[in-house]
Amino acid sequence: MKKSLGCKLFGLAVGAIVAMAGCDKSARDGEIVVVYVSEDQVFSEPILKDFEKETGIKVKAVYDTEETKSTGVMNRLIAEKNNPQADVFWANEPIRAEVLKQKGISAVYFSPNAKGIPDVHKDPQGYWTGFSARARVFVVNKKVQNKPTSILAYTSPQWKGKGVIANPRFGTTTVEMAALFTIWGNEKAQAFIASMKQNEVGISTSNGESTDFVASGEFDFSLVDSDDAVSRIRQGKAIEMVFPDQGQNEIGCLIVPNAVLLINGAKHSDNAKKLIDYLLSKATEKKLAFADCAQIPLHTGVETPMEMKSIEDIKVMKIDYGAVARKMEEIQPYLKQWVGY
């Protein structure tokens, strides 16, 4: 009997699904490590490819998107807690690593390569380790004459309606806000945020988008991550980068390191540790410094590109990441009210 189209489709669908269910067997049996990554794929993937080449260990990665603001991998890690699929999480800031520590998703690992990294950028109990940092910097449109030098510019009448900032409920902007709360105290920080609103600060969905808005002249300036700034500058966009609050009595510039952690119950824990060691090496920090993200090495003595300052040359905002993580959770209702959703 001639088979109908429906039968053919049914056969195709069932056959393919069965084949897919078995297709990963060879890979599962081989040398692999599964890593979830919230650092931008354009910067993280080349590092992971190099690790594959140098060790022969196949890296299977899940990357995050700018649009979902890390909803993807963080939610997956939390939802997968009882049957973890990931071995390693490469977070683009340490606050998520703190959240995972609190939820019991990460495991203790002291990498030998972490010895040269300052203690302030590491979890003292070994649940995560920081490396290659971004700085929170201003991007300013080249057409702007007098450039802002302090985050207080957001509340200055001179810059009314000319500043934009990524939604403070997401990503590193939340970290910045929480850091200000820990330094200034609730009252002063709330007054600052309220003044920002009165000063008609624009809210974008991400730092990358803020940078594009400044480059296109929609706004004059924005506080963003240094990798957003450097990548656009290297693409020839009409922006300049300014390190804020570098004066004697000013609070300094927030430094946000990447953080890497071992997942509790990782199926490939030996390979996971090799990957963590690799990410925490001076060689990786140098690669990330010379990539378009121009991240700042935390090991001393690692070469950096011309346009990026070394960590020693930056006046760094003094914060405790654990305290910032706790404050971040505390101020969420306030930020929600401030943003409106």
Partner 1 sequence: MIKRIVLITFVAVLALVGLLPLLVMLAQSVIIDGHISFAAYQDLLNSRSEWNLLGNSLILSILTALLTTVVGMPLGILLAKTDLPFRRAFAVLFTVPLLMPPYILAVSWFDVLGREGFLARFWGSSTAAVTSDFLFGLPGCVLVLFSTFLPIVMLLTMTFLKTINPRLEEAGKNFAGWFGVLKGITIPLIRPGIILSSLLVFLLTQGEFGVPLYLRYNVFSVVTFSEFSVSYDYRAATAGALPLVGITLLVLLVERIYLREKTYQVRLASSGYKTIMIRLGSIRNWCVGLVSVLGFLVVVLPFLVLFMQSLSFEAYAQALKLAGSSLLRSLTYAAIGASALSVLGFFLGYLIHNRSLSIWRSVDSLTILLFALPSTIIGIGMILLWNRPTTNFIYATPVIIILGYIAQYSALTSRVTVSTLIQIPPSMEEAAQVVGAGWLRRMGMIVTPLAKRGLLAGWLVGYVFCLRDTGISMLVYPPGHDTFGVRIFTLMANGPADLIAALCVIMIAATILPLGFLALAFQLAPGVNRGTNARRK
Residue list 98-127, contact with partner 1 (CB under 8 A): 99
Q: What CA dihedral angle connects 17, 18, 23 and 25, to 10 degrees?
A: 140
Q: How far apart are CA 131 and CA 254, in angstroms?
A: 15
Size of the site for partner 1 (CB under 8 A): 76
- Pick from 93, 98, 123, 209: which binds partner 1 (CB under 8 A)? 209
Question: Residue 214, Cβ neighbours under 10 Å: how many?
Answer: 31
| Interaction between residue 294 and partner 1 (CB under 8 A) | no
- Pick from 85, 150, 190, 269: which binds partner 1 (CB under 8 A)? 85
Q: Reduced to 3 states, what is the DSSP secondary structure of residue 129?
A: strand
| Interaction between residue 239 and partner 1 (CB under 8 A) | no
Q: Which x/- pattern, by CB under 8 A, does the window 120-159 give for partner 1?
A: ----------------------------------------
In this chain, which stretch among 12-20, 120-128, 149-157, 309-317 interacts with partner 1, using CB under 8 A? 12-20
CB of 144 to partner 1, least distance (A): 14
Q: How far apart are CA 184 and CA 117, in angstroms?
A: 27
- Pick from 61, 97, 166, 175: which binds partner 1 (CB under 8 A)? 61
In this chain, which stretch among 17-25, 182-190, 251-259, 316-324 interacts with partner 1, using CB under 8 A? 17-25
| Interaction between residue 65 and partner 1 (CB under 8 A) | yes
| Interaction between residue 31 and partner 1 (CB under 8 A) | no
Using alpha carbons, select from 130, 198, 136 the residue that is nearest to residue 171. 136
C-alpha to C-alpha distances, 99 to 75, 82, 103, 119, 307, nearest whole angstrom: 11, 16, 6, 19, 33
In this chain, which stretch among 72-80, 117-125, 244-252, 319-327 interacts with partner 1, using CB under 8 A? 72-80
Q: Which residue's CB is nearer to partner 1, number 45 or number 250?
A: 45
Buried b vs exposed e over 72-108: b needs ≥16 C-beta within 10 Å? bbbebbeeeeeebebbbbbbbbbbbbbbbbeeebbbe
Q: Do the Cβ atoms of 202 and 219 come closer than 8 Å?
A: yes
Q: Do the Cβ atoms of 126 and 168 come closer than 8 Å?
A: no
- Pick from 54, 67, 307, 313: which binds partner 1 (CB under 8 A)? 67
Radius of gyration of the chain (CA): 22
CB of 153 to partner 1, least distance (A): 20
In this chain, which stretch among 126-134, 149-157, 206-214, 310-318 interacts with partner 1, using CB under 8 A? 206-214
| Burial classification of residue 44, based on how many CB atoms lie within 10 Å of its CB (0-12 exposed, 13-18 middle, 19 or more buried) | buried
